[in-house]
Amino acid sequence: MIANFNADRALRLARDTLQTEAEAVAALAGRLDGEFARAVELTLGCTGRVVVSGMGKSGHIGRKVAATLASTGTPSFFVHPAEASHGDLGMVTRDDVLIAFSNSGETAELLSIVPIVKRIGAKLISVTGNPESALAKLADAHLNAGVEKEACPLNLAPTASTTAALAMGDALAVAVLDARGFGEEDFARSHPGGALGRKLLTHVRDVMRSGNAVPKVRENTPLAQALMEITRKGMAMTAVVDPDERLIGVFTDGDLRRLLETPRDWKTMPISEVMHRSPHAVGPDQLAVEAVQVMEANRINQMLVVDADGRLVGALHIHDLTRAKVI
């Protein structure tokens, strides 16, 4: 057992920390004014890149904000202010906007590069905890992320201040993405490896079975032969097509089970007598997630794919969509 550990004290400090940081973030809302709108305008008007910088913990916040901007339609990257003083400032052009994070607003490494940034012609947005600081006064737009106290019981470790700075950066990113008209499909394009990307970028043609993998028979095919096609293709169903390959029906394992309960000589009857006409189908250019919605709404596990002329071009099974991680 650790000598100084006290469970009750740990829980109390944790609750105090969360409460302090929540209050710090909530206070930002009432502080927003024309400076925030100006920061949004500068970011939207940037024809180059948004360059984010900060030292220490503010640098960690800056990296996250740069990543959020980049993933929501604003080309952005992080530059360490100390490295900027030793050559990396060459990454900044007159078409860029620099967002500088500093709780004190007096960070020497940032203040040393600001005159060069201004001379280049780039715009400066500062996010500080002191609106009277040098960095705040040099900025084209200043965002006040000041807090009354840190959540740290010593009031020293950056805690509430970094949370407030991060929240302010997120607020800026959200306001900018909304003004850009950035939508779900845009987000998916910058997140192709994520779940949303797969749902919004995967089309039926990307996951459907095609060619000889598609079970199909003609409408005069004997049922016994159609069952062999179902078995060979392993989709628990077969499409029924006319001589022009247009889809006219479907027969599934469920249909077979129901048929076996009737006193009929089903082995030689043509599939046209027992198939379902006008089956559910999707187009190859539809989103795969739309096929999932149709399957779920109709409680089916298979779906046929037809082109604009109603010709059979593929088939989908729920397992195909699962393997593609669409669901």
If you write DSSP's letter for every residue of 240-303 in order, what string do you get?
Answer: EE-TT-BEEEEEEHHHHHHHHTS-S--SSSBGGGTSEES--EE-TTSBHHHHHHHHHHHT-SEE
- Single-letter code of the amino acid located at 113: I
pLDDT digits (tens, 9 = 90+) for 211-222: 999 999 999 999
Per-residue model confidence (pLDDT) at position 190: 60
On the 0-12 / 13-18 / 19+ scale of CB atoms within 10 A, 136 is buried
Per-residue model confidence (pLDDT) at position 250: 95
Q: Which two tokens stand for residue 47?
A: 């024809």
pLDDT digits (tens, 9 = 90+) for 51-61: 999 999 999 99
Topology, domain 7-182: Rossmann fold (3.40.50)
What is the percent of the chain with per-residue pLDDT over 90, rounded to a whole number? 71
Q: Which CATH class is domain 204-323?
A: alpha beta
In the three-class reduction of DSSP (H, G, I as helix; E, B as strand; rest coil), residue 180 is classed as: helix
Domain residue ranges in the chain:
7-182, 204-323
Per-residue model confidence (pLDDT) at position 289: 86
Per-residue model confidence (pLDDT) at position 47: 94
Output the pTM of the full model: 0.66
- Single-letter code of the amino acid located at 18: L
Residues in the chain with pLDDT < 50? none
Cβ partners under 8 Å of residue 90, min gap 6: none
